[in-house]
Amino acid sequence: QSALTQPASVSGSPGQSITVSCTGTSSDVGGYNYVSWYQQHPGKAPKLMIYDVSNRPSGVSNRFSGSKSGNTASLTISGLQAEDEADYYCSSYTSSSALVVFGGGTKLTVL
């Protein structure tokens, strides 16, 4: 069960937009639209930000959006704010022996 591949870090200035990629295979990201994204601040529990590739749960800012092309999913955060600084994890259903697989995580720094 290999983890999905994410960049270790990304950064941006307040007001800018950033995109975090998440690359899998046809057994997970590429084969199903069951991709989600989680935000985790230090010492806190993760928070669901995106599900079904591009849907936002109630209460999540519309500055967060998701998309997918082939085996790669993406999370875009527009209008960066200081409070967006956190770790971001993608996740997908997988048809392998597991049920769910996470990405390795991306640390977002707001400059």
Partner 1 sequence: QVQLVESGGGVVQPGGSLRLSCAASGFTFSSYGMHWVRQAPGKGLEWVAFIRYDGSNKDYADSVKGRFTISKDNSRNTLFLQMNSLRGEDTAVYFCAKTYYYGSGIYYLDNWGQGTLVTVSS
Applying CB under 8 A, the residues found at the interface with partner 1 are: 1, 3, 34, 36, 38, 40, 44-48, 51-52, 57, 87, 89, 91-93, 97-105
Single out the residue of 75, 80, 87, 88 nearest to residue 110, CA to CA.
80
- Give me the least distance between CB of 40 and partner 1, in Å please: 8
Q: Provide the minimum distance between the beta carbon of 21 and partner 1 in the complex, in angstroms, as a whole number.
A: 15
Secondary structure letter of residue 7 according to DSSP? -
Q: Residue written as tokens 């870090």?
A: 9
Residue 105 C-beta: closest distance to partner 1, Å? 4
Closer to partner 1 by Cβ: residue 36 or 65: 36
CA nearest neighbour of 68 among 46, 49, 90? 90
DSSP state of 14: T
